Amino acid sequence: MITVSDGVAAGTRKDTSGPALCDLLQHSRFEVSGPEVVPDVQARINDAIVAAVISGADLVVTTGGTGLGPRDVTPQATSMLIDYEVPGLAELMRRAGGASTPMAALSRGIVGVRGQSLIINVPGSAKGASESLEAVMPVLGHAVQLLHGDTKHE
């Protein structure tokens, strides 16, 4: 779990989305570490994602940096690292957010795979982050199984 935020990294803002997502993932029986906090700096985001993948994380979730602001670079950082995108999950997250606010369409978060790790970008607000992750939660277990070679379909 990685929180991307200049304010949280500087200690001027409290991280609410990272802990909310950790709780959500733990409730769904995912082993969680973090949240690690990094500023909106592409190299720092890259380093955090790569470190999580190298450590063997099946799932890497980032929160923050997905909007249209000049410092919102999480999707760019993620796209540099992934082997391929999983656009259906990103579409599902935006569609779920759109049920609450039309602003969800402005999220540029992507979902992709690096090696055997699924990387998911969600918005920085606790509500937007939780709604996005909840939208894809029903398929995450199966996605991880597929990435590890369990391709049996019943």
- Residue-level pLDDT at 151: 80
pLDDT tens-digit series, residues 69-105: 999 999 999 999 999 999 999 999 999 999 999 999 9
Q: pLDDT by residue (tens digit) across 11-54?
A: 999 999 999 999 999 999 999 988 999 999 999 999 999 999 99
Q: Which residue, 87, 105, 86, is CA-closest to 95?
A: 105
Q: Which domains does the chain have, with CATH numbers?
A: 2-147 (3.40.980.10)
pTM above 0.85, yes or no: yes
Average pLDDT of the chain is 95
